[in-house]
Amino acid sequence: MGLNPRGKLLLSLTTLLALLSVLGFMTLNVQSEWTFIVQYRGSRLLGMLLVAVTMGLATVVFQTITHNRILTPSLMGFDVLYVLVHALALLLWGTEFGASWPLELRFVFEVAVMVAIALLLFRWLFSDSVRGLHMLILLGMVGGLLFHELADLSLRVFDPSEFSIAQGSRLANFNRINLQLLWVGLAGVVLCGAVLFRLRRQLNVLSLGRDVAINLGVPYSKTVTLLMLVICVLVSISTALVGPMLFFGLLAANLAYWLTGSHQHRWTLPASVLAGVVCLVGGQVLFEHLLNTSLPLAMVIELCGGVLFIALLLRGVKQ
């Protein structure tokens, strides 16, 4: 079962656009040594690509296992949960025991804690009892706000100077990517990507719902737990690199559904990544080099995603 001609055309165009964006980002307005450019722009590019991959994949997979196209890990507060764990972990890093840990190891530890908490929450939210979509959004919003405030509070108590930095980076910022975590992030993304590639056919079956998936022989709770773990790791990587983004995943995933017009993950997963790359890298090229504006890209993307969210909600209400 391939893609229809419209999907093929749109997907090829998106691929082309994504490649052009990457090329433009690396080559436009070059005024200094190439080695410096490659290193400076290359690391930022890698950061943005990682964010595009993580948010796109995490959102599509999350929407598949929760059977809707509105909820995203960010809307359910997963990224703020990571921020909270990060804030609390500062306590540990302040002690003698923790201070010797390298940054990468700290990150891995924080992700592990976050995964454990998120899996427990997920068990509770999506257990046997069925909750309505709007109830879930509400819970996610409230939970997100709670984590947010708790993170603020703990930062303020434990580390006032860190708090002021964290305050400044409340919104994702692509000019201040946490470059120290690039390589561990890349490793995580490759690992998660490999898992999702292996499970792409199971994902198609999972989108039919729990009962049908079990009927067709997919080991449901094992697979969903593994996928949730992958989602948590992906969201943590993205949040650690640039900060929380509420609506970017929603935008990338829904663009992917629209572009491919397909339910098959071998198309929607790569399409979400490509759409994300066009939004992030293409947007950055557009703002930085073509429009010459200092408007923060993240804010504009969030605005677009937010409008899409409201549109999807309204459409859901109509149906």
Structure tokens at 132: 């309505």
DSSP string, 251-276: HHHHHHHHHH----HHHHHHHHHHHH
Residue 106 or 200: the one with the smaller Cβ distance to another protein is 200
Residue range at the interface with another protein (CB under 8 A); choices 62-70, 156-164, 226-234, 245-253: 62-70
Q: Do residues 221 and 287 touch, judged by C-beta distance below 8 A?
A: no
Min dist CB 312 to another protein, Å, is 12
> Exposed, middle or buried: residue 99 (CB in 10 Å: 0-12, 13-18, 19+)?
exposed
Structure tokens at 183: 């390589």
Min dist CB 92 to another protein, Å, is 38
- Of 285, 261, 304, 281, nearest to 11 (Cα)? 261
At residue 104, what are phi and psi to the nearest 5 degrees?
A: -65, -40
173 near another protein, judged by CB under 8 A: no
Question: For 151, left (φ over 0), alpha (ψ -120 to 50), or beta?
Answer: alpha
Determine which residue in the list 105, 116, 216, 291 makes contact with another protein, applying CB under 8 A.
216
Determine which residue in the list 41, 156, 176, 263 makes contact with another protein, applying CB under 8 A.
263
Determine which residue in the list 42, 94, 102, 209 makes contact with another protein, applying CB under 8 A.
209
Min dist CB 216 to another protein, Å, is 4
Structure tokens at 58: 């995490």
Min dist CB 307 to another protein, Å, is 21
215 near another protein, judged by CB under 8 A: yes
205 near another protein, judged by CB under 8 A: yes
1 near another protein, judged by CB under 8 A: yes
Cα dihedral 234, 266, 280, 151, rounded to 10, equals -20
217 near another protein, judged by CB under 8 A: yes
For binding to another protein (CB under 8 A), which residues are involved?
Answer: 1, 67-69, 201-202, 204-205, 207-212, 214-220, 261, 263
